[in-house]
Amino acid sequence: MDHFLYRDGALYAEDVPISEIAAAVGTPFYVYSTATLLRHFQLFDDALDGTDHLVCYAMKAASNQAILKTLARAGAGMDVVSGGEYLRAKAAGVPGDKIVFSGVGKTADEIRTALTGGIRQFNVESEPEMEVINAIALELGVVAPITVRVNPDVDAKTHAKIATGKSENKFGIPIARASEVYGHAASLPGLEVIGIDVHIGSQLTELEPFEMAYTKVAELTEKLRSEGHNIRRLDLGGGLGIPYTRANDAPPLPVEYGALIKKTLGHLGCEIEIEPGRLIAGNAGLMVSKVIYVKSGEGRDFLILDGAMNDLIRPAMYEAHHDIVAVDEPAPGVEQQPYDIVGPVCESGDTFAKERNMPPLAPGDLVAFRSAGAYGAVMSSEYNTRPLIPEVLVHGDQFAVIRERPSFDEIINRDTIPEWL
Ligand code: LLP
């Protein structure tokens, strides 16, 4: 459920008409709903009720500080994957002891930044990385809390580009080598081994792969404990999928996911961490764009928008589907017609949807891409020297620009010309 609904024939974000935001900030833009963000966070928090747990929002999904602050105030920790994300979380007021550092290639500088600023734990992805964390911790005179990310060799049954839990993927250490790697970690005085980490992929629409992975983690916990490791925290990653189409997909609910966690791991008495990103932010955000032209082609009409692949890359990159709706609610019974919905960028890949049924639209009309809150703004670029589009946060009947659209001068003046030119 989200808070983007039609009222009196117009699409609203909570109590603010989308058209009002468009008039104030121009198009295209991203808009997020505070109530939806909080609702989704709360679903996870409630799903783990009765278990010692922390929901660490995977901020890669949508990392604006206003979003982080909204979630942190509700009690969320953060899952970060770069020094930049770590500093951004800190800037949003998240304390170090609620920040988990994941990622397959943490640099020495990033590790130093996190160890200096305070960190809940590093999710270590390889033995060479373990050695570097150990060396930096010793140099700083601290002990680094770590889990090791294990790769359980489970098929997440999702898009190949976002599956991470098979042995051929670059992530984690093979679960079969866990004893050896944990033995190595325990021998390093700058590290304190506290738990196990696993993350098998994103946009999972079934519970079965989670069940297989978590069952393996439960077995591994007992094994490592029997080998003398004090395993007391399990980081179970993110990945629970969201419905991208209103009509027909219904991934498992957080409450069902929570019940699975309790069933597979509850008996171990560990603290549980989860790292959801998409489910918290995805349906809490829209990208709003304007029709520039309607062009008749060979056997099809093109809807040419002012938003493009640089603003929302998911359709071009993952063949992802986003529902696209007219901001002015179509009259009941209005006949729909198929459009190819495209942006102005000079590549055929800049196509959001093919033969998508839409009500008749004209230049100047606004459309909204649903489910664009996660991996939307964060993956945007200035390709074609198109400015990064603004982000807006709605809270009840208020809205605020939480990232401004840069001016062309700002963009152009970022280049510096060598003295020989
Ligand atoms: N934890 C780790 C270690 C991750 O790598 C990820 C996502 C998450 C948590 C959050 O997963 P989520 O709950 O959001 O599924 N750009 C792609 C998605 C990439 C996901 C990468 N890792 C997309 O637009 O679909």
Q: Sort 118 into a burial class: Cβ within 10 Å, 0-12 / 13-18 / 19+.
A: middle
Residue type, 7: R
**Ligand 1 binding pocket, CB closer than 6 Å:** 58, 61, 79, 102, 162, 199, 202-203, 237-239, 275-279, 314, 318, 374-375
Q: What gap in Å lies between CA 169 and CA 151, rounded to an integer?
A: 8
Q: What share of the chain is helix, strand, coil (3-state, %, to 5)?
A: 35, 25, 40
Q: What gap in Å lies between CA 312 and CA 349, rounded to an integer?
A: 12
- Average per-residue pLDDT in the chain? 96
pLDDT at residue number 248:
59
For 73, which DSSP code? H
Q: What is the CA radius of gyration of the chain?
A: 23
Burial 183-211 (b: 16+ CB within 10 A, else e): ebbbebebbebbbbbbbbbbbbbebebbe
pLDDT digits (tens, 9 = 90+) for 308-340: 999 999 999 999 999 999 999 999 999 999 999
Any bridge partners for residue 174, and if so which?
151
What is the rounded average pLDDT of the residues 277-285?
98
pLDDT digits (tens, 9 = 90+) for 195-222: 999 999 999 999 999 999 999 999 999 9
- Whole-number Å distance, alpha carbon 36 to ligand 1 midpoint, is 19
Q: What gap in Å lies between CA 170 and CA 151, rounded to an integer?
A: 9
Do 198 and 239 form a contact (C-beta atoms < 8 A)?
A: no
Determine which one of 1, 247, 331, 346 is catalytic. Answer: 346
DSSP state string for 117-173:
H--SEEEE--HHHHHHHHHHHHHHT--EEEEEEEE------S-GGGB--STTSSSSE
pLDDT digits (tens, 9 = 90+) for 68-102: 999 999 999 999 999 999 999 999 999 999 999 99
Q: What gap in Å lies between CA 130 and CA 107, rounded to an integer?
A: 11
Phi, psi values for residue 183, rounded to 5°: -60, -45
Q: What gap in Å lies between CA 214 and CA 208, rounded to an integer?
A: 10
Q: What gap in Å lies between CA 89 and CA 406, rounded to an integer?
A: 22
Distance, first Cα to last Cα, the chain: 56
- Whole-number Å distance, alpha carbon 238 to ligand 1 midpoint, is 7
Within 8 A by CB and 6+ apart from 304, the residues are: 291, 292, 293, 294, 295, 342, 343, 344
pLDDT at residue number 223:
98
pLDDT digits (tens, 9 = 90+) for 402-420: 999 999 999 999 999 999 9
> What confidence category does residue 189 fall into, taking pLDDT thresholds of 50, 70 and 90?
very high
Q: What gap in Å lies between CA 133 and CA 26, rounded to an integer?
A: 46
Nearest CA residue ID for atom 19, ligand 1: 162
> What confidence category does residue 124 fall into, taking pLDDT thresholds of 50, 70 and 90?
very high
Does residue 280 have a pLDDT over 80? yes
Q: What gap in Å lies between CA 52 and CA 270, rounded to an integer?
A: 8
From the alpha carbon of 276, which atom of ligand 1 is closest? 13
Do 328 and 288 form a contact (C-beta atoms < 8 A)?
A: no
> What does pTM read for this prediction?
0.97
pLDDT digits (tens, 9 = 90+) for 368-390: 999 999 999 999 999 999 999 99
Query: Catalytic: 270?
Result: no
pLDDT digits (tens, 9 = 90+) for 228-254: 999 999 999 999 999 998 765 789 999
Q: What gap in Å lies between CA 167 and CA 189, rounded to an integer?
A: 29
Of 125, 202, 280, 312, the residue with max ligand 1 atoms within 8 A of its CB, to mutate for a pocket test, comes to 202
Residue type, 87: L
Does residue 174 have a pLDDT over 80? yes
Please report, rounded to a whole number, the percentage of residues in the chain having pLDDT higher than 90. Answer: 93
The domains found in the chain, sorted by start residue, are 4-31+282-412 (2.40.37.10), 34-280 (3.20.20.10)
What is the rounded average pLDDT of the residues 161-185?
90
Do 156 and 163 form a contact (C-beta atoms < 8 A)?
A: yes
CA distance readout (Å), 159 to 57, 107, 125, 163, 354: 22, 28, 22, 6, 20
